[in-house]
Amino acid sequence: MRIVRLCGAVLTILGAAWLLAAPVGAQPPSKLTDHVTDSSGVLTDSSRSTVNSAIDRLSQNRHIQLWVVYVDNFSRFKPENWADKTRDASGMGDSDVLLAVATNTKLYAFVVPSKAQGITPAELNSLQSNKIEPAVGAKDWSGAAVAAADGLNTSTSSASSSNHTWLWIAIGVFVVVVLIVVILVLLRARHRRRAARPVGPAGGHPNLGGRVDSLGPALSTADARLRQISDYVARHQQSIGAEAKSRLDETKRYVAAAHSKEASNPAGAISDANRASTLAAQAQTAANADVLAAHRTPRRRGS
């Protein structure tokens, strides 16, 4: 009997020690099956509905799942360790956020994975210190959960809005660049059409002696006029006088100058080409007069 009483006393002491060692109302980390778990019984039907509405808004707008659990205390665990073990037991992923609140000790853990944030560390710290902690300290249990949900919703909305703004800016810049390229292509094509268009009378033949305002036709006219007078002088070399040859030499110099300025100074090239055409016309006039004079039949004197 003495042994039985002794064993009973030992068991009583061990039981009392176990009760003293375990925090009252402690709940170990466990698997969560609902987005709102109220083991402490601190939520009313109305406040639970408010929390669920905030969780639904966050899920619908940002595809982030918020899990909220209320316990009396975190047993022997630190709040972050308790939350991590609960996440592991519940199989939560990168889009799952956990808010765990110990109502007796007013401690909490708010675990937001980096891929689910859409929020800067500074914004996250502000949300906890300015929204969640004051609500927990005031025992506004539902307010803490709503603050967490709405804070994530607002922050991610701002980040998304910023991303959309940059996207529209990039699209606008791309459109402007495309328009500039199209305008440049059209202007170049127009310039080429003008350069290829013959300048002259209605018959379509180049005006070899007149002024041309486009580089291509001006050079073409000067080259053609130079070839014409050069060939003429070569055929009638014995009859050509000094003035015609002098005009021909000047024509050659201006044609060469026009071609040398074609790339670097288009306006100067046009001016030299027009000058060459004028000199070629003058040379042609002088050469024609020389040839006519040389072939004129002399009069016979009467006896």
- pLDDT-based confidence at 3, cuts 50/70/90? low
The predicted pLDDT at position 184 comes to 87
The predicted pLDDT at position 83 comes to 93
Tokens for 10? 């030992």
How are the residues of the chain apportioned to helix, strand and coil, as percentages rounded to the nearest 5?
A: 65, 10, 25
The predicted pLDDT at position 297 comes to 53
State mean pLDDT over 101-125: 86
Segments making up each domain of the chain, as ranges = 23-157, 215-295
Name the most confidently modeled range: 14-23, 93-102, 110-119, 161-170. 93-102
- pLDDT-based confidence at 200, cuts 50/70/90? very low
The predicted pLDDT at position 114 comes to 78
Summarised one tens digit per residue, pLDDT across range 209-262 is 456 788 889 999 999 999 999 999 999 989 899 999 999 999 999 999 999 988
More confident residue, 199 or 268: 268
Maximum CA extent, the chain:
191
The predicted pLDDT at position 15 comes to 47
More confident residue, 179 or 81: 81
Name the most confidently modeled range: 7-11, 108-112, 298-302. 108-112
| Contact assessment for residue 134 and residue 106, using Cβ atoms and an 8 Å cutoff | no
Lowest mean pLDDT among 40-44, 95-99, 196-200, 215-219: 196-200
Tokens for 245? 């040859």
CA separation for the pair 128, 137 (Å, rounded)? 12
State mean pLDDT over 125-129: 92
The predicted pLDDT at position 26 comes to 66
Tokens for 258? 């026009």
Summarised one tens digit per residue, pLDDT across range 39-84 is 999 999 999 999 999 999 999 988 899 999 999 999 889 999 999 9
**Could you tell me the CA-to-CA distances from 267 to 226, 258, 259 in Å, in that order?**
20, 9, 12
- pLDDT-based confidence at 299, cuts 50/70/90? low
Topology (CATH level 3) of domain 23-157: Diaminopimelate Epimerase; Chain A, domain 1 (3.10.310)
State mean pLDDT over 167-187: 85
SS3 state of residue 53: helix
| pTM (predicted TM-score) | 0.47
- pLDDT-based confidence at 164, cuts 50/70/90? low
Name the average pLDDT for the chain.
82
More confident residue, 164 or 214: 214
Residue 10 has pLDDT above 90, yes or no: no
SS3 state of residue 112: coil
The predicted pLDDT at position 150 comes to 92
SS3 state of residue 36: strand
